[in-house]
C-alpha cells in the first residue's frame, strides 16, 4: 500500500510539473508580477488536497476549511484532465499536426466537462430491484440502501437535507447504510449540526449501518461516538434479527484486519432464515456466494467517480458497481449516493438502491 501511494504521489507531482511548464509557455506575454502570483496560486492548489487532509481536525473556520477542501480536491480532477488533454495536443504536434490553441481549448473542454459532471452528480439514480429471498415467502419489505455519503466539508448540511428528502420520499420500511457516512473526521458534522438532519430519516424498522474505511480514517472511536448519538444502529461484526426472521449481518470494514470472518458471523445465523450482508468494501465475493448469503450490499468503489478512473475500479474489483447475481446470492455494489472529494460525476452515476423484497 505505501508503494502504491508513493507511485500515485510521484505521478501527481510529475503531472503538475508538466502542466506548470505548459502554463508558463502559454502566459509568456503576461507581466512578471502577474506570472509570479499565478505560479504561487498554482502550487497552493497543488498542495491543498494534502493540507485539507492533515488539517481535518484543526480548529479552522468552517468556510475556510470547506473552501480548502473543495478547491484542493477539485484540483485533483483538473490535474487529471489537463494532463491528458495537453499531452494529446503535444503528441499531435510531434506527429506534425500543429494547433496553436491547445491550452485554451483544454481549459474550455474541462469547463464544459465539469459543468456536465456537476449536474450529473446532483441527480442520483434510484435503482429499484425486486427480489425473492425465500420461495413462497409471505413477508414483503421495502429496503432503501445507500453508501458513501461522505458527510463533512464536501457533502454539507444543505446537500444532506436534499438526500434525506429523497430517501424519505421512497417511504422505506428499513434503511441500510453501507459505510463511509463520514468523510475525514467528525468536526465538520458537529459544526454543521448534521444530527439534526439525520434525525429526519424515517424507517419503521430502523436504520442500520456498517463502518467504512473513512470512518477509520477520521478516527473510528470518534466516528462511532457520533453515529451512536443518532438513531442509526452501528453494526461491527454483529448480527441482528428483525421480525424474528430477517437477519442483517454487519461486518466491520476490511481495513480492520482483526474483523471476524464471514464464516464466523454466519455460524451465529439461522440458515433457514433470509440474510442480508452489509460489507463496505466488495472483496472476496465468492465467499458470499459460498456462504449462501441472500443479499449483499456494498459501496466503497464509487465506480471510480470519474472516467477513466472507472476503468481502474472495473479491473480492481470483481464487481465495481451495480447489481449482479452470484449463484443464489444477490450482490449490489453502490457507486455511492454522494462522493469523496470534488463534486463531479463524469462517466459514472451516483445511486441508491430500493429493494422490494419478498421472503
Measuring CA to CA, which residue among 72, 173, 125 is closest to residue 334?
125
pLDDT per residue as tens digits for the range 228-241: 999 999 999 999 99
pLDDT digits (tens, 9 = 90+) for 259-313: 999 999 999 999 889 999 999 999 999 999 999 999 999 999 999 999 999 999 9
Is residue 81's pLDDT more than 70?
yes
Nearest to 178 by CA among 270, 251, 97: 251
- Give which of 244, 250, 286, 254 is closest to 265, Cα–Cα: 250
Kindly list the distances between the CA atom of residue 82 and the CA atoms of 15, 25, 108, 268, 280, in Å, as whole numbers in the listed order. 9, 15, 10, 52, 32
Task: Report whether 332 contacts 297 (CB < 8 A).
Answer: yes
Place of cell 476549511: 65
C-beta separation of 346 from 302 below 8 A: no
In this prediction, residue 59 has a pLDDT band, given cuts at 50, 70 and 90, of: confident
The domain defined by 125-358 folds into: Purple Acid Phosphatase; chain A, domain 2 (3.60.21)
Return the C-alpha cell found at 11. Answer: 505521478
Q: DSSP label at 281?
A: S
- Computed over every residue of the chain, the mean pLDDT equals 93
Using one digit for the tens of pLDDT, what is the confidence trace for 110-144?
Answer: 999 999 999 999 999 999 999 998 877 788 999 99
- Structure confidence at residue 84 as a pLDDT band (50, 70, 90): very high
Domain borders along the chain are 2-120, 125-358
Query: Residue 1 has what pLDDT?
Result: 56
How far is 168 from 175, CA to CA, in rounded Å?
A: 10
Identify the band that residue 57 occupies on the pLDDT scale cut at 50, 70 and 90.
low
Distance CA 184, CA 19 (A): 29
Q: Which residue has the higher pLDDT, 4 or 164?
A: 164
Collapsed DSSP state (helix, strand, coil) of residue 151: strand
Amino acid at each position: 500500500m505505501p508503494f502504491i501511494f508513493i507511485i500515485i504521489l510521484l505521478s501527481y507531482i510529475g503531472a503538475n510539473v508538466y502542466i506548470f511548464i505548459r502554463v508558463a509557455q502559454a502566459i509568456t506575454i503576461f507581466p512578471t508580477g502577474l506570472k509570479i502570483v499565478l505560479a504561487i496560486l498554482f502550487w497552493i492548489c497543488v498542495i491543498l488536497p494534502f493540507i485539507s487532509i492533515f488539517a481535518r481536525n484543526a480548529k479552522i473556520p468552517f468556510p475556510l476549511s470547506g473552501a480548502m477542501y473543495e478547491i484542493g480536491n477539485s484540483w485533483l480532477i483538473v490535474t487529471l484532465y489537463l494532463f491528458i488533454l495537453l499531452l494529446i495536443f503535444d503528441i499531435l504536434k510531434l506527429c506534425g499536426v500543429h494547433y496553436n490553441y491547445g491550452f485554451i481549448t483544454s481549459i474550455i473542454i474541462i469547463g464544459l466537462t465539469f459543468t456536465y459532471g456537476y449536474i450529473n452528480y446532483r441527480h442520483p439514480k434510484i435503482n429499484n430491484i425486486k427480489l425473492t429471498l425465500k420461495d413462497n415467502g409471505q413477508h414483503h419489505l421495502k429496503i432503501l440502501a445507500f453508501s458513501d455519503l461522505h458527510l463533512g466539508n464536501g457533502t454539507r448540511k444543505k446537500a444532506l437535507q436534499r438526500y434525506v428528502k429523497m430517501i424519505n420520499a421512497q417511504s422505506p420500511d428499513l434503511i441500510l447504510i453501507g459505510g463511509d457516512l463520514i468523510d475525514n473526521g467528525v468536526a465538520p458534522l458537529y459544526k454543521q449540526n448534521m444530527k439534526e438532519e439525520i434525525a429526519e430519516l424515517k424507517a419503521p424498522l430502523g436504520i442500520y449501518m456498517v463502518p467504512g474505511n473513512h470512518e477509520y480514517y477520521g478516527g473510528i472511536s470518534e466516528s462511532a461516538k457520533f453515529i451512536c448519538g443518532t438513531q442509526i444502529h452501528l453494526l461491527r461484526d454483529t448480527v441482528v434479527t428483525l421480525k424474528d426472521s430477517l437477519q442483517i449481518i454487519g461486518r466491520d470494514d476490511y481495513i480492520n484486519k482483526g474483523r471476524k470472518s464471514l464464516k464466523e458471523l454466519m455460524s451465529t445465523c439461522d440458515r433457514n432464515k433470509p440474510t442480508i450482508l452489509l460489507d463496505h468494501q466488495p472483496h472476496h465475493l465468492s465467499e458470499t456466494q459460498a456462504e449462501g448469503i441472500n443479499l449483499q450490499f456494498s459501496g466503497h468503489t464509487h465506480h471510480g467517480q470519474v472516467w477513466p478512473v472507472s476503468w481502474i475500479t472495473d479491473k480492481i474489483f470483481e464487481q465495481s458497481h451495480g447489481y449482479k447475481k452470484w449463484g443464489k446470492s444477490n450482490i449490489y455494489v453502490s457507486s455511492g449516493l454522494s462522493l469523496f472529494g470534488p463534486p463531479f460525476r463524469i462517466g459514472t452515476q451516483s445511486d441508491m438502491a430500493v429493494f422490494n423484497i419478498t421472503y
